[in-house]
Amino acid sequence: MACQKSNDFDYAKSKACATAKCESVFANKPELLTGCKWFTGWSGAPDNPAVTYKEVTCPDAITKNSGLKR
C-alpha cells in the first residue's frame, strides 16, 4: 500500500515501486526475488489482489496424501 499511496495510486508507478522493493529486499536471495516479482506481476499492483472465492470440501486425494482433514 505504501507504493500506491506514494504514487497517488498510479498503477504503473505503483507496480514499478513494488518491483524495485522486491529487488532491494531480495537482492541476494534469487528464489525469493523470483517469487516477489511473480507476485507483483500476478497481482497487478503491490496491494492485495481482489479475489472471489468459496469454501469447498477438500478432495479425498489431497486429504489422503496430506493426512490433514478439516
Residue range of the domain that includes 47: 2-66
> Hey, which bits of 18-68 come out as E strands?
none
| Sign of the Cα pseudo-torsion (46, 52, 57, 58, in order) | negative
Instruction: Find where cell 507476485 sits.
Output: 39
Per-residue DSSP letters for 12-27?
HHHHHHHHHHHHHHTT
Q: State pLDDT tens for residues 16-59.
A: 888 899 999 999 999 999 999 998 888 766 566 667 889 988 89
Q: What is the pTM of this model?
A: 0.57
pLDDT of residue 2 exceeding 70, the answer is yes
Report how many domains make up the chain: 1
